[in-house]
Amino acid sequence: MGRFEGRDPPQTVEYEPASVKDLLVEMKDTAELLIDLSYSAVLHGSPTVAHEVIELENKMDVLQMRARMSLMLAARNPNEVEKLAPVLGVVAAADKVSDAAGDIAKIVLEEIGLPDAMRGALSEGVETLVRGTVDGNSGYVDRTLMEIDMESETGVRVIAIRRDDDWILNPGPETRIEEGDITLLRGPEASVSEVYPELTGEAFEPREPVEPAIDDLERAVDSIVLMKNLSELAVDLAYGSVLFDNEELAEEVTNLEVEVDALQSRFEAWTLRAAKEADDPVSLRGLIHLGVATEEISDAALEITEGVVRDLDVHPVVEMAVKESDEIITRTTIREGSDLAGTQVSDGVPATDISTSVLAIRRPDEGWLIGPDIDTTLDVGDVVISKGTRTSAAEFDDLAV
């Protein structure tokens, strides 16, 4: 299938003066939102969410072209070229994530087919994300997110709003909810089931998980969920390696990509074996598509780290873009007497309402712990790589000292 088949004709793009930093921020936020939306579309079998993925993919194409134009004009001498070369890698990586997300969405839009057991497994590996249109009678209409205080009260966050043809990718406290807004909500399923009816006037009806009836299919499903988690972690660590100019993080991204490649090979073998026992082998086509697209996301993470791996200076514009994006990656050292010392990751880190997730831990004597398991307890001296909102990141840092 051609890249633009099934999509609107490519939009004509003319050069407009634009900040490379702002373009990179928007591309990073859009890419991360696309990952969430695409897997959510598959999880819920939702054509409406899948269409939002395609719309955002079209937007990403425009952002990438504008970023390239701005970068070409920014290079005035050989030194600038050297510093800007890794920025092109970051731009290309965001677009590669976008294309992979579009391929995942097509599993739904083109009715390629996916076993119900896949959706059951994804429900455990994907935080609940739903799309809802704001009802005119909702109590949230004409109120700002600060007034509603949804995240603090329920743990549910409005991660994006589409208003007519415009996207608000990073709604802030002063963003006002309006009738007809198409909102994207993310949070615990129990909380989403309370917020969604109030916002949309419709009931929230999650699907019940389905257990695989074929052992090889169960192994394939478990593999693809692990591939998804490792690929997303690789992208997060890749941006972290750029932000901190950290070669160790970049090396971990390489290790994760190798692991995803190995998982994909085993996943394909198990899927083919499962096809022999499946009542409808054609229904497994979607699994193959999902595996290929997920592996491409881990490949994109490698492109982000290229400048760090090759020991090229990180251009300040990239560092600023990573810092100013929607969800930010932070590096925090656990100090003596910190409230975080002795906290188990499985209990929530920290064990409060702060929306922060731990991506990795570096211990002085053990090196990196990637994706700490449920028994990991934070110790004094641990360097914690975490991801969350700006507010949560600041509060997390306060608790670390």
Q: 């896949």: which residue's tokens? A: 118
Rounded to whole angstroms, the Cα distance separating 395 from 389 reads: 10
CB 6 within 8 A of CB 102: no
- Residue 161 structure tokens: 């709003």
What mean pLDDT, rounded, does the chain reach? 78
Lowest mean pLDDT among 3-7, 239-243, 256-260, 362-366: 3-7
Q: Percent of the chain, pLDDT > 70?
A: 75
In this model, does residue 176 exceed pLDDT 90?
yes
Q: Percent of the chain, pLDDT > 90?
A: 12
pLDDT, one tens digit per residue, over 183-233 is: 988 887 788 888 999 999 998 876 655 454 456 667 777 777 778 878 888
- Residue 211 structure tokens: 């257990």
Q: Of 4, 64, 52, whose CA–CA distance to 28 is shortest?
A: 64
Rounded to whole angstroms, the Cα distance separating 12 from 231 reads: 32
pLDDT of residue 351: 46
In this model, does residue 24 exceed pLDDT 90?
no
Q: Where are the alpha helices (DSSP H) in 110-129?
A: 116-125
Q: 């959706």: which residue's tokens? A: 119
Confidence of residue 1 (pLDDT cuts 50, 70, 90): very low
CB 249 within 8 A of CB 241: yes
- Residue 28 structure tokens: 């990073």
CB 131 within 8 A of CB 182: yes
In this model, does residue 372 exceed pLDDT 60?
no
In this model, does residue 159 exceed pLDDT 50?
yes
Q: 């949560």: which residue's tokens? A: 392
Lowest mean pLDDT among 10-19, 108-117, 276-285, 293-302: 10-19
pLDDT of residue 322: 65
Beta bridge partners of 212: none
Rounded to whole angstroms, the Cα distance separating 68 from 66 reads: 5
Ranked by mean pLDDT, which of 8-12, 207-211, 376-380 comes out on top?
A: 376-380
Indicate left, alpha or beta for 367 from its phi (over 0: left) and psi (-120 to 50: alpha). left
State the DSSP H helix or E strand holding residue 96, giving kind and residue range, or none if neither: helix 78-109
Rounded to whole angstroms, the Cα distance separating 8 from 182 reads: 20
Whether the link from the prior residue into 17 is cis, omega within 30° of 0, is no
pLDDT, one tens digit per residue, over 31-73 is: 888 888 888 788 777 788 888 899 889 889 888 888 888 887 7
334 CB-contact burial (10 Å; exposed 0-12 / middle 13-18 / buried 19+): buried
pLDDT of residue 125: 47
Q: 């609940």: which residue's tokens? A: 128
pLDDT, one tens digit per residue, over 301-353 is: 998 888 888 877 666 776 676 666 656 677 778 888 887 888 777 555 554 44
DSSP 399: H
Q: Of 246, 207, 204, 276, whose CA–CA distance to 367 is shortest?
A: 246
Helix (H, G, I), strand (E, B) or coil at 186: strand
Rounded to whole angstroms, the Cα distance separating 342 from 399 reads: 12
Q: Determine the straight-line distance between the first and last CA of the chain, rounded to whole angstroms.
A: 54
- Residue 106 structure tokens: 């097509």
Rounded to whole angstroms, the Cα distance separating 239 from 387 reads: 11
More confident residue, 371 or 397: 397
In this model, does residue 356 exceed pLDDT 90?
no
Mean pLDDT of 358-368: 76
Helix (H, G, I), strand (E, B) or coil at 319: helix
pLDDT of residue 4: 47
In this model, does residue 138 exceed pLDDT 50?
yes
CB 38 within 8 A of CB 98: no
Rounded to whole angstroms, the Cα distance separating 272 from 278 reads: 10
Rounded to whole angstroms, the Cα distance separating 126 from 187 reads: 10
Confidence of residue 130 (pLDDT cuts 50, 70, 90): confident
More confident residue, 86 or 133: 133
